[in-house]
Structures are given as structure tokens and as C-alpha cells.
Amino acid sequence: MEQELLYPLTNKCRFDQKLDGLWDFEFDRESQGLADNWTAKLPDPIKMPVPASFNDFFTDKDSREYTGDFWYAKRVFVPGSLRGKLIGLRFGAATHRATVYVNGQEIRSHEGGFLPFLADITSAVKFDEENLVVLEMNNELHRDALPAGDTAVLKNGKKMVKPFFDFYNYSGLNRSVHLVATPENHVVDYTAVSTLGDDLATVHYTVTTSQSVGSVSVTLRDKDDQIVATSNGRTGDLVVQHPQLWNVRDAHLYTLTIQVTANDNLIDEYSDEIGIRTITIAGHQIEVNGQPVYLKGFGRHEDSIYAGRAFDLNVEKRDFELMKWMGANSFRTSHYPYDEEVYRFADREGFLIIDEVPAVGFKMAAASFLGGLDQSFFDGDWTEELYKKHLDQVTDMIHRDKNHPSVLAWSLFNEPDTSSKSAVPYFEKMFAATKALDPDQRPRTFTLNEDDTFDTSYCKQFPDFYLLNRYPGWYHKWGYEISDGEAGLREELDKWAASDIDKPVVFSEYGADTQPGLHKLPSVMWSEEYQIELLQMFNRVFDSYDFIRGEQPWNLADFQTVEGNMRVNGNKKGLFTRDRQPKEAAFYLRHRWLDIDNNF
């Protein structure tokens, strides 16, 4: 669990320099790098872009599919002007695990390929010199790690991942690395939680500093840089008269500035943009500022051509333009926390985010989908170690993202095996352990898979609202049989309707693989016509039940997966192609969504 996850910035007190660009890179096929002193020098490196997944740059399959240890290295100049400050390297994501060395000194390790971590290198750094930064990394999958999978050893001795999930195991330094410097006495963390009054709002804040000395003052400024509230102390209330509330697709942000002073000297300053809003679940309604919202959006992936799972500002900009064009207002960070810039986009654009940890593949049936076993996942002897990592990553996700107004809810699992009673103790522990992590107490949920229905799931008691992944028309009752698929879906939803459950239901996955340009009259599966017919079927169903409060088809765009006889160079369920051009269904769904008010 990380102590420091604040987003880096440069100001009078702080220094932040992105280390994007070409790093030295080398596969360590024999896992001998440490023994052979690679912490001092990579023997025969190539150049590798950062941020980027290494996989798709290569032209040979052994390199693209490489599984095991690999190393990065870069010489980093640290200016003498930073003397007296804490010097750190902040990694946006190192997938899936890394150990950091500076000038040959081991600094720290980190497990979890989708969340940031800070390496304090103060003790190892040389000022006004180049410093050798080296990372030893590994991208193997294991059942006791997130995301879940296996790593096989082929007869030729090469390793190969067997994901229990349907996205490619893109690996590397997928997000930016920052050289950062902060004062020894600095802001470590803050929280800001809003409550609304009659034409006023109260932002209750807390500030954590690395040292107890020094005074803290907090200022809130509006978009015109006018001070609207101030307060002193490491905890307090900022009372805002006539607040401009953050709303869905009508975002208003304020700048919160924290200053630490001692003897009238400014010691540290940290600023961030926050939104004043509340999130509540009221019966079967999801409410923002007490107003019902209807979620229109997507399951997504951080995925694009060339750099794999790397965060790419250009792709993110295009994706938001596409989602706004569609009339969308939300998305799920399927199936892992995304780069921090994504949440800042959503804060500015007024999108709601269901923030998901990579607790994906916790289901042997998913493995059997890719050749695994058929036992219940939570009966495995790996669950104790898995739980520790799972809780660690939920904790860091909430710690990192808790101050974003765009974050609506936390998804603690994607499609876990809840149709076995052995899941219940694990869920009881996880939901109890995470209840108090979010100062804003946002709803917590997880997605229910096809096999985890109203009748078969033993874990319906846990989520604050339900996310249903349902695939009639594709994985079963497909093609001309889709009418039976609709009937089966309605039968299940009739049971939800007849039950005493009064919580919102959001459809978080449904869709059809579609080859762009494939047309057939009448339709066949994989044709653009069929993708529309399938969406029309689901929309008929959604419009029949008032407790369905959101629709997020799978997926915004086509994305890369492992090879398989069910994948045509990746997953093609996108409403847009992988290079972000619309399929026919995008125009159909846009027409529907532009007619549905965000507060419907």
C-alpha cells in the first residue's frame, strides 16, 4: 500500500520532470541479469520508447510474446538545485512487477501493473551528475496475482502466459516515469468531500503532511481564479456560497491549494482541481447532487496500435471526442485502473467513471474459455496470497482516485466466480476491509457474469448496485436464436423485478464481434447489421425495466487479445474500430443516446 500517490507537479516548492523517451531495454531470458550485475550495465540493450508496451514493436513472435524478466535502464541528470529535497522516481505503471535500482543500489520493489508507485532515491542520488536508473521487471501471470492467469513453459523451454481474461498481456513501462522532488516537510495526501446545503456547499478537507511541524492553510478558487473559501488547519471546512456544482456533462471545477508554512516561510504547496458534487444510491436510482442519472457509456480498454497498453494522450483525446459525439456520459475502466490523465479528462468533461481493479480472471470458467480448469476459483490454494494483493490494489486505487469528482463507484472485481459458496468468505472480507477506504463513501460493486445470475450468485448481498455482463445473442442463443436469448434475459430480469432487491442495475457488458465492412441482408453474426440487431434487442429489454439505470455496451473500440480460434486479431466488439473509426452501430446507438437525457 503506497503512502504517496499525489499527482506530481512543478511549482515554487516542487519539481517534476517526465522521463519519457527512449530507454535502454533488454530481455533477461535466463533470469541471470541480477547475478550478472545488470544493475550496473545492460550488456546488449536496444532502445525502447517509454511510455509504451514493448510487445508490438517487434517483428518476431518470440519477442512479441516474451514472458519472463526484462530490464530497462536510463541515465538521469539530477540538478544540484534540488539538494535538500526528497528526490523520487514516480512510475505511473510498471506491468506487472518491478524492482528499482539507482547507481547500483536497490531502492524498492512493486507488484501491480496498473497503479503508480514512488521510489525514494534520496539516499542513492548524485547531484549535478547523471544517475543510472535500472528496473528489473517481470510480466508473468499467476493465479495469486492480479490479473489472474497462468504462465506455462513450452517444450522448447520458452514461457507463455495463459490469461484468464480477454485482453492482451501488454507489458512494460506503460505509463510515464517522473523525476520528482519535494520538500522534506511536504503534503503527502489530502481528501476533499462535499456536502450540499441551500445554495451553499461545504467541502470538508483533511491534509496529511510528512512532518507535524508547520501550519497548513487551504484556499479554494473558482474558474476565474477568485478565492471563494479559505480555511486553516490540517482538517477543516471550506464553505462555498452559490457553488457551481459538478454535474454529468456539465462540469465545474475549483482549484484547491494547500500551503504549508513555518515562521512565515512557504515550505510546500500543492494544488489540485476538485468538483463539488455528491453521489448517492437512492432505491434503484443512481443520483448526482440528488438528481437521478442514467448511465450511457462503454466498457473500454487502454489499447491502441503500436504502443499497446501505453497511455497515449492523443488516443485519449480521440476517445473522449467519440464518446461525446455518441452522447455518452460514463465509462468503466475495464479491467484495471487507467492512467491518471483519464480521470482528469473525465473531471473536465463531466463523465462518470466506474473505477475497476484488475481482479479479473477470478473464474476458472474464464480459464476454460481459454483452456483452464472447471473448479471453483475461490477453492484454490492461491486465494490467501491473492487476497493480500487484491486488497493492496483496491486500497491504492481508492487512495489515488478518491478526489476525482468523475469517480462514481469502485468495481472490486470483474466477473468473479460467485456461483460457488466458497466465494462468500472472500467477498465478506473484501467488502468489509474496503468499506472505510473512501472518505466520500462511494458505492462499491463488481460485475456479474453470465453464470452468476439472480438465481445462481451467492454474492448478490454485497454490491451497492449491480453491474450485469450478459451475452445472449453472442455467447449463447446467437444468430436466429436471439429471440430465445431475449426471452431468457427477460426471464432473469423478471426475477430481479419480482424480488425485494431495490438497487440499481447497470448493464456493463453486452455486444457482438463485428467485422467492419461486413454487410449481409438479412444479417449474420459478425455483420454490421447483426451488431445493430443485437443492440436493438438489448435496448428493447432495457426500456422494459425501470430499475435498469445504465447501458454500457462492450466495447468502445476493438482491442487486442491473445490469439485464439474465437478472435480475429483481437476482440471486434467495438462500436469503433481499433483506429477509432465508427461501425454502423455507432450511428444507431448515437441516435438512441442523443434522445435519452442524462437525468432520465
Ligand X SMILES: CCCN1C[C@@H](O)[C@H](O)[C@@H](C(=O)O)C1
Interface contacts to ligand X, rule CB under 6 A: 165-166, 335, 415, 449, 469, 509, 554, 571, 573
Please pick, among 415, 528, 533, 551, the residue that the annotation labels catalytic.
Answer: 415
Q: Smallest distance, Å, CB 157 to ligand X? A: 30
Residue 447, φ and ψ in degrees, nearest 5? -95, 140
Q: Smallest distance, Å, CB 335 to ligand X? A: 6
Distance between CA atoms of residues 48 and 500, nearest Å: 56
Distance between CA atoms of residues 251 and 199, nearest Å: 17
Interacting residues of 380 by C-beta distance below 8 A, sequence separation 6+: 143
Q: Smallest distance, Å, CB 147 to ligand X? A: 10
Q: Smallest distance, Å, CB 38 to ligand X? A: 35
Q: Smallest distance, Å, CB 574 to ligand X? A: 10
Q: Smallest distance, Å, CB 464 to ligand X? A: 21
CB-based contact 383:413 (threshold 8 Å): no
Distance between CA atoms of residues 557 and 572, nearest Å: 8
| Cα 77 → chain centroid | 32
Q: Where are the alpha helices (DSSP H) in 413-481?
A: 423-433
Q: Smallest distance, Å, CB 571 to ligand X? A: 5
Q: C-alpha cell of 6?
A: 499525489
- Of 38 and 413, the one with the shorter C-beta distance to ligand X is 413
* Strand 444-448 to 466-469 pairing: parallel
- Of 403 and 414, the one with the shorter C-beta distance to ligand X is 414
∠ CA(321), CA(327), CA(329), 5° rounding? 85
- Of 136 and 452, the one with the shorter C-beta distance to ligand X is 452
CB-based contact 229:257 (threshold 8 Å): no
Distance between CA atoms of residues 487 and 477, nearest Å: 10
Using CB positions, name the residue nearest to ligand X: 166
* Sign, Cα dihedral of 479, 481, 483, 486: negative
Write the single-letter amino acid at 213.
Answer: V
CB-based contact 49:97 (threshold 8 Å): no
- Of 74 and 143, the one with the shorter C-beta distance to ligand X is 143
Distance between CA atoms of residues 357 and 531, nearest Å: 29
CB-based contact 95:171 (threshold 8 Å): yes
- Of 347 and 509, the one with the shorter C-beta distance to ligand X is 509
Q: Smallest distance, Å, CB 573 to ligand X? A: 5
Closest CA to 448 of 478, 470, 423: 470
Interacting residues of 117 by C-beta distance below 8 A, sequence separation 6+: 2, 90, 91, 94, 108, 110
Q: How far apart are the first and last CA of the chain?
A: 39
Q: Smallest distance, Å, CB 449 to ligand X? A: 6
Question: Is residue 486 flagged as an active site residue?
Answer: no
Which run of H or E residues covers position 486? helix 482-498
Please pick, among 340, 509, 533, 551, the residue that the annotation labels catalytic.
Answer: 509
- Of 369 and 547, the one with the shorter C-beta distance to ligand X is 369
CB-based contact 364:416 (threshold 8 Å): no
| Cα 526 → chain centroid | 29
Would you call 539 helix, strand, or coil by DSSP?
helix
Question: Is residue 509 flagged as an active site residue?
Answer: yes
| Cα 495 → chain centroid | 32
Closest CA to 316 of 6, 580, 48, 140: 580
Write the single-letter amino acid at 79.
Answer: P
- Of 25 and 336, the one with the shorter C-beta distance to ligand X is 336
Q: Smallest distance, Å, CB 448 to ligand X? A: 10
User: Measuring CA to CA, how many Å separate 165 from each of 134, 169, 362?
Assistant: 30, 9, 9
Q: The cell 521510489 sits on which residue?
A: 119
- Of 149 and 214, the one with the shorter C-beta distance to ligand X is 149
- Of 415 and 533, the one with the shorter C-beta distance to ligand X is 415
Distance between CA atoms of residues 597 and 244, nearest Å: 21
- Of 87 and 357, the one with the shorter C-beta distance to ligand X is 357
CB-based contact 163:414 (threshold 8 Å): no
The CB-side HSE value for 154 (13 A sphere, CA atoms) comes to: 11
Closest CA to 2 of 145, 188, 229, 242: 188
Q: Smallest distance, Å, CB 469 to ligand X? A: 5
Residue 136, φ and ψ in degrees, nearest 5? -100, 120
- Of 52 and 366, the one with the shorter C-beta distance to ligand X is 366
| Residues known to be catalytic | 415, 509
